[in-house]
Amino acid sequence: MQEEIVIFTDDFFPKAKSIEVKRLIYAVQLLIDEGKFRSFKSLAEKAGFSSQHFTDIKTGRKELQSDFLDKISNISSINKVWVLTGTGEKFTDVSLSKNRKAFQEADINKLLETIERKDRQIEELVTKKEHITIPENVWEKIEQLINTVTSQQRTIEQFIMREKNRPALREDDATCVAAS
């Protein structure tokens, strides 16, 4: 199975203090959307933690600890290597891939909308350059952001094209992969 790239913007759960926490929140939300768990609270309680403990991690009041991640990954099949590094599959259970493609397209569309909105905001700043004085270093930073957003948008568009051309995973494929 091809490794999936997930890009998080600042708009995705802005209270999370680390990319690892954002990855965990994203994976848990996928499980909730797929009906594997009812809520963050039910997952936390099943792992032996209070819902407040999970909330504190999500909002940055507490750091993500390895014992918490170990217990969550053991009961949910969230791949803790993916949470910590962003590499590999999000889940250790292949059967969870069944409905993921539809969720990916929705996430990609949300990301594209965010990029387009940010692009418009940057474009407004660029057009205002004629009317205001901006220090050279600030202008250079704006240009860097424009280049970054443009590059991210191209990467996302390429990813969308690859995903549209990739055949969907069938249930019998998942069985073959799990058996091998």
* pLDDT for residue 180: 43
Q: Largest Cα–Cα distance in the chain? A: 65
Q: What is the mean pLDDT of each run of 10 residues along the chain (180 residues)?
A: 64 81 91 90 92 90 92 91 88 60 67 83 70 74 86 84 68 47
Cut 0.85: pTM above it: no
* pLDDT for residue 179: 45
* pLDDT for residue 39: 92
* pLDDT for residue 17: 80
Evaluate whether 78 touches 91 at the Cβ level (below 8 Å).
yes
DSSP per-residue letters across 70-116: HHHHHHH-B-HHHHHHS-S-SBS-GGGGTTHHHHHHHHHHHHHHHHH
